[in-house]
Amino acid sequence: GSLAPVTDVGEKLTTLGATVLDDLVFGSGADTLDETNFDSLQNLAEFLAATPNASVVLVGHTDAVGSLEANIDLSERRANAVRQRLIDQYDVQPSRIDAQGVGYLAPRATNTTEDGRTINRRVEVVLTAPLQ
């Protein structure tokens, strides 16, 4: 079969315990999601509905432009934007989703190129409660 652009979030959480929500794209300095229906959020909501004991933390990340303090704040706002979308649009219980930000402390790519900075502006989802 062909590789789909968005992999199964639930499958990755089950096997790896964490995954990046790769279809969410944030502009430099931006903390808002557009009105697109993101497959990764649909997928995450379905996973949470199917695994009632699971809970997750959304971890926001930034590129390295600006101060660490400003980027931690920005990354928290990104994670909270995703959390709010899951609550509002997908009816996920707020108690099952936490949101944190780590700024530019965990880059996936170099911050010396625009492509690298784009990759680093992301939200990751981490499984925090066991699957039972």
pLDDT in tens, 51-64: 999 999 999 999 99
CATH 3.30.1330.60 for the 9-127 domain, yes or no? yes
* Domain ranges, ordered by start, for the chain: 9-127
Indicate the DSSP class of residue 40.
H
Q: How far apart are CA 73 and CA 60, in angstroms?
A: 9
Please, are residues 32 and 68 in contact by the beta-carbon 8 Å criterion? no
Q: How far apart are CA 11 and CA 112, in angstroms?
A: 32
Burial class (CB in 10 A: 0-12, 13-18, 19+), 66: middle
pLDDT in tens, 97-106: 999 999 999 9
pTM: 0.91
On the CB side of 96, CA atoms within 13 Å amount to: 18
pLDDT in tens, 18-57: 999 999 989 899 999 988 889 999 999 999 999 999 999 9
